[in-house]
Amino acid sequence: TAVQWLGVGVLLSGIFGLAVYNLRYLETERDTLNMALGLAVLTGLFVAAYTTYDAYGIRATADPFTFLAWFFLIDGLGMPPIAYLRWRRMTDRPDIGPLMLRGLAGGLVAPLSFGAIMLATRLDKVGEAAVLRETSTVFAAIIGWLVLKETVGPRRIALMALIALGAVIVEMGG
């Protein structure tokens, strides 16, 4: 709807506003910022592509939970060998037990978080689910501010609020 397009515009103004803010105020501090922003755009294109492809896949199956089980099983088969090879190459190897516990925790969280988004794309419009997922950057910034004591500042808070507001407009406008 027109209201949802307005919400997308508000969300994008927040995202691009953050990019412009970083280019304007952080460029002297980071010589890799232009490359980082270019890679962020490329990442966004890949996210759009795999979100569309995943939505197609989960909608094409009779049982979405079977799809998710196979998705995470096949994806998870490659991780232990990759993790082991990387761990073996480390000069200062951490204890394997705590790493395995973190891996197990990640293995339990992934189906809940990513699986929930995939189910949302089956049940509702892909665009609405994707926009709501992008509000995770706002929560990441809040966690970074509270837990990691990162500086955010009023301009960045306002721009992140635009991202969240845009997502709300998209959801409510449908």
Cα 7 to chain centroid distance, Å, stands at: 19
Note the pTM of the prediction, 2 decimals: 0.66
Q: What is the pLDDT of residue 29?
A: 61
Contact 132, 158 (CB under 8 A): no
Find the helix packing angle between 64-77 and 96-123, rounded to 10°. Answer: 150
CA atoms within 13 A on the CB side of 115: 18
Give the count of beta carbons closer than 10 Å to the beta carbon of residue 128: 18
Give the Å distances, CA to CA, from 173 to 17, 24, 29, 165.
23, 33, 40, 12
CA distance 114 to 55: 12
pLDDT means over runs of 10, the chain (174 residues): 90 86 71 80 87 89 90 87 91 89 87 86 82 76 85 83 86 79
Q: What is the pLDDT of residue 140?
A: 80
CA distance 109 to 9: 31
Contact 79, 104 (CB under 8 A): no
Q: What is the pLDDT of residue 91?
A: 92
Q: Which DSSP state fits 150?
A: -
CA distance 167 to 146: 23
Tokens read off for 34: 């232009």
Q: What is the pLDDT of residue 42?
A: 92
